Amino acid sequence: MRNDEIARVLQEIADMLEMTGENFFRVRAYRNAARTVQDYPAALSGLSREQIDALPGIGADLAEKIATLAAGGEVPLHARLKKTFPAGLLELRSLPGLGPKRIKLLHDRLKISGLADLRRALAAGQLGAIGGFGPKSEERLLKALEARGAEPAEKRWPRHEAAAVAHELLEWIKAARGVENVAIAGSLRRGRETVGDIDLLAAATDAAAVMKRFLSFEAVERRLGAGETKASVVLRGGPQVDLRVIDSESWGAALVYFTGSKAHSVHLRKIAQGAGLLLNEYGLFRGKRRLAGADEDGVYKALGLHFIPPELREDRGEIEAASGRGHLPHLISAGDLRGDLHAHSNWTDGRATIEEMARGARARGLEYFALTDHSRRLAMAHGLDPARLREQRKEIERVADRVGVRILRGIEVDILDDGALDLPDRALAELEWVVASVHSRLGEDEKAMTRRIVRAIKNPNVDSIGHPSNRSIGKREPSHFDLAEVLKAARDEGCALEVNSQPDRLDLTDTDCLAAKHAGVKLVITSDAHSPRDFDGLSGGVLQARRGWIEPGDVFNTLPVDALLSRR
C-alpha cells in the first residue's frame, strides 16, 4: 500500500472511532499517525518493522497496524468499523462544518447515511429539529451541496499565477500612507505548488489607509469582509486575498503566525508553552512582557531555534533540526544552478530555433544547457531519428560557436511500453546528455510502470529520468510506481531524477525530492523550456526542491560543465 492509502485508512479509523464516541486520546493517536504516514518521505512498504516502530509518536499497536497495511494486509478494526458505518457516511466529512460528531448525530436522529439522505432531510426542513443545526448551518450545507459536482470541494490556484498577482498587490499597498512593511505570508510564502488563497501582511501606523488602498485595488471583484485591521476580497477570475495589518513591534510574530503552516505554528506554540511562554501573532510573551516579536529571527531565537526558511515550515522535522538536535539544510537557491538539462527547440515541439534558445540561456546567465528534443516515437512532435540527430549536431556546433554558450548534445528519449528506449544504444552513446521520459500508457499499473522506469534507468546511456510521475497539477493524476524501487535503481546506476519546473508539472514533488535525497539519489532541476522565456521557470523548480530540503550538492546542474560530464 502507498503511504497516502495507509494514511487514508488511519484517518477513516480515527473518524469512525470518533463517531462511536471513542476517547479523545485514542482518536487523536490515529489522526497523528495518519499525518506522520502522509508526510513520511519514503515508501513505508520499504521499511522494516523496527524502522516503523521507531517512527515518531507511534506506539507498538499502531506500528503493527501500519506494518500490516504497508504490506498490503487488512486491519480488522478498520473492517469492523466499516461494517458499522455505511460508506456514504464518510463522504459527508467533505461538507463544511460536518465533523464525525455531527455526522453521528445526523445518522442517529435522522437515519442519514449519505449525501442523498442529507439533501432530502434539508429539503424537508428536518435539521432544525435536532440540536446544533441552526438556520446558518442549514444554509451552508445547502450551498455546499449545490456546488457539488460543479467544482471540487476546495479550489486551489497554481502558485505561479497567485504569485504574479500577489506581487502586484504588494506594490500597490506599499504606496499607502504609513506603510512600514508588506509581505506575502501563508502557503504562497512557503512555496506550496498550489495555494488556497493569498495571505498578505502589512505593518503600518495607519491601518485605515492601508485598508482603503487594498480595497481599491483594480482587480478586486467582491469584498468578503473588511474590518479595521483585516479584510478579505475575491479577485476577478482569481483567488481570495486576506490582508492583515499589524504594528511593527509584532511584525515578526505575525509573519511567523500567518506564514504557518498551521502544523508548524502549533508545534512552535507547544515549545513556547513548555517554556512557560505564550506565542501568538503579537509576539512571544512571558506574562505581560514581550520577549520577541519585531522580527522573525528574534522569535525563533527566543524559542531556542535557528531561523527556519518558510519552505520548510511544514512540521516535517524542521523544528527538531532547528533546535540543534539535527541540522537545518543549507537550501539550494536559483543562483546555484549553472546550467539546465532539459530544453527543446523547433526541431521538435519547441517554439524557438536552437540559436534563439542559446541566446536565451546565455542572457539568463546559464553556463550551459542540454538541448533535449524528442525522439522519433513522438511523431506529433516530429521526434528525431538517428539521421536528424546527426544533422542537429552540426547545427548545435555552429550555434554554440556563434553564441558562446555550451550546448550539450542531448535527447529526451521516450521510454517505450516495455521499458526499452526509442533510439538504439549506438545513437544514444554519441550524446552528451540523455533524458528518458515516459509519454505513453501513463495509467499503467504500478508494477508495470515501475518495471519500465527501472529498465530505462539501467540503460547506461541514460543520465536522468524526465518528469518521473507525469502528473499535471489539477488535470492528470501522477502515474503509480514504486518510488523506493526506482530510487534504489537510480542510486545503483548513478542516474538522476528530474525536478521539472514547468508550473503544471513540478515533478518530482517536494516530498519525493526528500525521499530521493535520503536514498542518496541526485536530482537535476530543469526548465523543460520550449521557448527562451521558459528558462525563467527554473526558479519554480528550485522552490519545489527547497521544500524537499534539497541542497546544492544534491543537484547535478549546480556543477560546472566539465565536472558534470566527467561523472558519466
- CB 262 → ligand DGT: shortest distance, Å? 5
- CB 524 → Zn ion: shortest distance, Å? 13
From the list Zn ion, ligand DGT, Ca ion, none, which binds 510 (C-beta under 5 to 8 Å, kind-based)?
A: none
Q: Judged by CB under 6 A, which stretch of 94-102, 190-198, 283-291, 516-524 contacts ligand DGT? A: 190-198
For ligand DGT, the binding residue among 46, 88, 196, 317 (CB under 6 A) is 196
Q: Judged by CB under 6 A, which stretch of 8-16, 100-108, 187-195, 330-338 contacts ligand DGT? A: 187-195
For ligand DGT, the binding residue among 186, 238, 309, 541 (CB under 6 A) is 186
Rank residues 232 and 472 by Cβ distance to ligand DGT and give the closer one.
Answer: 232
- CB 187 → ligand DGT: shortest distance, Å? 3
Task: Outline where DSSP puts E strands in 317-457.
Answer: 339-343, 368-371, 406-414, 433-437
Neighbouring residues of 173: CB distance < 8 A, sequence distance ≥ 6: 179, 182, 200, 202, 210, 213, 214, 243
In this structure, what C-alpha cell is assigned to residue 196? 488556497
- Residue 435 contacts residue 341 (beta carbons within 8 Å): yes
Neighbouring residues of 221: CB distance < 8 A, sequence distance ≥ 6: 233, 234, 235, 236, 237
Rank residues 242 and 422 by Cβ distance to Zn ion and give the closer one.
Answer: 422
Q: What angle do CA 108, 111, 112 make, to 5 degrees?
A: 105
- CB 476 → Zn ion: shortest distance, Å? 13
Neighbouring residues of 120: CB distance < 8 A, sequence distance ≥ 6: none
Q: Judged by CB under 5 A, which stretch of 24-32, 157-165, 173-181, 436-444 contacts Zn ion? A: 436-444
Q: What is the residue-wise DSSP string for 506-533?
A: -BS-HHHHHHHHHTT--EEEE--BSSGG
Q: Which residue is nearest to ligand DGT (CB)?
A: 260
186 contacts Ca ion (rule: CB under 5 A):
yes
Rank residues 279 and 456 by Cβ distance to ligand DGT and give the closer one.
Answer: 279
- DSSP 8-class letter at 177: T
**Residue 420: strand, helix, or coil:** coil
Q: Judged by CB under 5 A, which stretch of 95-103, 182-190, 338-346, 529-537 contacts Ca ion? A: 182-190
Measuring CA to CA, how many Å separate 122 from each of 86, 115, 125, 135, 139? 20, 11, 5, 11, 9
Judged by CB under 6 A, the chain residues 276 through 315 that form the site for ligand DGT are none
From the list ligand DGT, Ca ion, Zn ion, none, which binds 114 (C-beta under 5 to 8 Å, kind-based)?
A: none
Rank residues 414 and 510 by Cβ distance to Zn ion and give the closer one.
Answer: 414
Judged by CB under 6 A, the chain residues 208 through 267 that form the site for ligand DGT are 257-258, 260-262, 265-266
For Ca ion, the binding residue among 12, 15, 18, 199 (CB under 5 A) is 199
In this structure, what C-alpha cell is assigned to residue 364? 539568463
437 contacts Zn ion (rule: CB under 5 A):
yes
Residues 41-70: x/- map of binding to Ca ion (CB under 5 A)?
Answer: ------------------------------
**Residue 194: strand, helix, or coil:** strand
195 contacts ligand DGT (rule: CB under 6 A):
yes
From the list Ca ion, Zn ion, ligand DGT, none, which binds 262 (C-beta under 5 to 8 Å, kind-based)?
A: ligand DGT
Distance CA 518, CA 47 (A): 13
Half-sphere exposure of 168 (CA within 13 A, CB side): 11
Measuring CA to CA, how many Å separate 439 from each of 27, 80, 105, 421? 43, 42, 49, 12
242 contacts Ca ion (rule: CB under 5 A):
yes
465 phi and psi angles, rounded to 5 deg: -100, 120
For ligand DGT, the binding residue among 187, 469, 502, 558 (CB under 6 A) is 187
Q: Judged by CB under 5 A, which stretch of 85-93, 180-188, 290-298, 493-501 contacts Ca ion? A: 180-188
In this structure, what C-alpha cell is assigned to residue 534? 521558459
Q: Which residue is nearest to Zn ion (CB)?
A: 437
Distance CA 556, CA 568 (A): 11
Rank residues 246 and 431 by Cβ distance to Ca ion and give the closer one.
Answer: 246
Distance CA 422, CA 466 (A): 14
Half-sphere exposure of 399 (CA within 13 A, CB side): 24
Rank residues 437 and 511 by Cβ distance to Zn ion and give the closer one.
Answer: 437
- CB 530 → ligand DGT: shortest distance, Å? 28
Rank residues 65 and 342 by Cβ distance to Zn ion and give the closer one.
Answer: 342
Rank residues 199 and 510 by Cβ distance to Ca ion and give the closer one.
Answer: 199
Q: What is the residue-wise DSSP string for 323-356?
A: TTSS-------GGG--EEEEE--TTTT-SS-HHH
Neighbours of 372 (CB within 10 A): 30
**Is 259 exposed, middle or buried (CB count within 10 Å of its CB: 0-12, 13-18, 19+)?**
buried
For ligand DGT, the binding residue among 12, 18, 117, 199 (CB under 6 A) is 199
- CB 350 → Ca ion: shortest distance, Å? 35
Distance CA 504, CA 470 (A): 10
158 contacts ligand DGT (rule: CB under 6 A):
no
Q: Which residue is nearest to Ca ion (CB)?
A: 186
Neighbours of 528 (CB within 10 A): 25
Rank residues 279 and 453 by Cβ distance to Zn ion and give the closer one.
Answer: 453
- Residue 267 contacts residue 261 (beta carbons within 8 Å): no
- CB 164 → Zn ion: shortest distance, Å? 25
- CB 261 → ligand DGT: shortest distance, Å? 5
Neighbouring residues of 236: CB distance < 8 A, sequence distance ≥ 6: 219, 220, 221
From the list ligand DGT, Ca ion, Zn ion, none, which binds 437 (C-beta under 5 to 8 Å, kind-based)?
A: Zn ion
Q: Judged by CB under 6 A, which stretch of 186-194, 223-231, 371-379, 452-460 contacts ligand DGT? A: 186-194
Distance CA 395, CA 552 (A): 32
For ligand DGT, the binding residue among 15, 197, 482, 528 (CB under 6 A) is 197
Binding residues for Zn ion, per CB under 5 A? 437
Binding residues for ligand DGT, per CB under 6 A? 186-187, 192, 195-197, 199, 257-258, 260-262, 265-266
Binding residues for Ca ion, per CB under 5 A? 186-187, 197, 199, 242
